[in-house]
Amino acid sequence: MVQHHNDRLDASFAALSDATRRGVLEQLGRGDASITDLAEKFHMTLTGMKKHVGVLEQAGLVATEKVGRVRTCKLGPRQLEHETAWLEAYRQKWAARFDALDDVVEELKQKEKHDGRKKRH
C-alpha cells in the first residue's frame, strides 16, 4: 500500500514537474482537446505532445479516447487528493517550525530589551 501510494506521488509530481504538461492540464480544464489541437497550441510536434500526454495519462491526470483518427484528451479521473494531502502535511510541519522560530525570536527580543534596561541603570 505504501509503495503504491509513493508510486502515485512520484508519477504525479514527475508529470507536474514540466511546464508544458501543467499547461496541458490547464488547457484541458477549459475543455477537451485533441492531441493535434494541443500540439498546435504549444507549438510542438505531434510526437512531442503524444509523449507529454502519455506521461500525464500514466499518472492518471489525463484520459484519452480515440474516435476515428482523432485522439481526444480530457482531464483524468485523478483529482490530486493524495498529492494535496501530502503537501498539506508538509505545509503544516513547516508552519509549526516557523511558529516555533517566531517564539524563539520573540523571546530573544524580550531578553535583549530586558538586558538593555539593566545596562542603562
| Cα 77 to Cα 81: distance, rounded to the nearest angstrom | 11
Is the same domain home to 58 and 86? no
Most confident segment among 19-23, 66-70, 115-119:
19-23
Looking at the 3D structure of the chain, how many domains does it have? 2
CB-CB contact of 60 with 46 (8 Å):
no
* 1 pLDDT more than 70: no
71 and 57 co-located in one domain: yes
Same domain, 69 and 85: no
Predicted confidence band of residue 71 (pLDDT cuts 50, 70, 90):
very high
70 and 97 inside one domain: no
E runs forming strands in 1-121: 33-34, 62-67, 70-75
Q: Which residues contact 58 (CB under 8 A, 6 or more apart)?
A: 11, 15
The model carries a pTM of 0.73
Q: Strands of 33-34's sheet, edge to edge? A: 33-34, 70-75, 62-67
Domain residues for the domain of 113 are: 80-121
